[in-house]
Structure 1
Amino acid sequence: MTARILIVDDQPDIRKLISLTLQHLEDAELHEADNGGDGWRMAKDLKPDLMLLDVMMPGELDGYQVCTKIKQDPELAAHTKVILLTARAQQEDLDAGARAGSDAYLTKAFSPLKLLDTVDEMLGRME
């Protein structure tokens, strides 16, 4: 079964790095959005299995808000895992991610291997 993965980050270089890292996954369909509002709208349409979601984005919704909306939506909450991505690694940031309902939290700059391991874990692909 193909896993739908939605990458939401306002930084094109970060989106590209994540896409290049994940393109080697078999049976993964990658989608991208460059802001929280578009990410939320795409999530409602795509119903992704996994979202990689930047916390700090300009515009109508930040990553915490999008995560909260995903986890409160009955159609999405049941099967969409959310990995929050951020440069902020203070305890209050981690707590905010937990309150928003995130399934995992990666701090930038994360290694591609750590990203792949976390994605595999979220998609239930760990051996």
Structure 2
Amino acid sequence: MKTCLIVDDSRMIRRVAGRIVKDLGFETEDAENGEEALDKCRIELPDAVLLDWKMPVMDGFAFLKALRKLPNGDKPTVVFCTSERDINHIVDALSAGANEYIMKPFDSDIIESKFALAGLV
């Protein structure tokens, strides 16, 4: 079964996104900031990462750059899921290695379509 790491400082977002991703056939794990997520990735890389941008300790952008430097860190498909709407943020995220970008608020159709575009489902 494919795995997805959901990284967001909001417990509610992690819970809602987790239900949606589980319905898509993934096992899920979550982290409340980039540092915690990076620690989990050092142990075992997920197939996918659903990633928020603004978080305490380590934000999503810093996490993405660090993830891509890990051995096989290019393998997980990273989908930013954030309220950041500035085009420069989107360009920066995609340039740093994000595969897709979702704007909050999201629903199951949006996540499913972005995961499909990224080749996850």
**TM-score, with structure 2 as normaliser:** 0.91
Q: Structure 1 residue 32: deviation in Å?
A: 0.5
* Structure 2 equivalent of residue 49 of structure 1: 47
**Secondary structure, counterpart of 1:120 in structure 2:** helix
Q: List structure 1 runs of 4+ shifted beyond 6 angstroms.
A: none
Aligned identity (percent) is 24
* Structure 2 equivalent of residue 70 of structure 1: 67
Count the aligned residue pairs. 121
Distance 1:124 1:86, change over 3 A: closer
Q: Structure 1 residue 68: deviation in Å?
A: 1.0
Tell me the amino acid that sits aligned with residue 96 of structure 1: D
Tell me if the contact between 1:53 and 1:83 (Cα under 8 Å) persists in the aligned partners.
yes
**Secondary structure, counterpart of 2:98 in structure 1:** coil
Q: Does 1:5 align with 2:1?
A: no
* Structure 2 equivalent of residue 89 of structure 1: 85
Tell me the amino acid that sits aligned with residue 86 of structure 1: T
Tell me if the contact between 1:50 and 1:123 (Cα under 8 Å) persists in the aligned partners.
no
* Structure 2 equivalent of residue 21 of structure 1: 20
Q: Structure 1 residue 87: deviation in Å?
A: 0.5
**Secondary structure, counterpart of 2:80 in structure 1:** strand
Mind listing any 5+ residue stretches in structure 2 that lack a counterpart?
none
Tell me the amino acid that sits aligned with residue 51 of structure 1: V
Q: Structure 1 residue 90: deviation in Å?
A: 1.1
* Structure 2 equivalent of residue 38 of structure 1: 36
Q: Structure 1 residue 123: deviation in Å?
A: 4.0
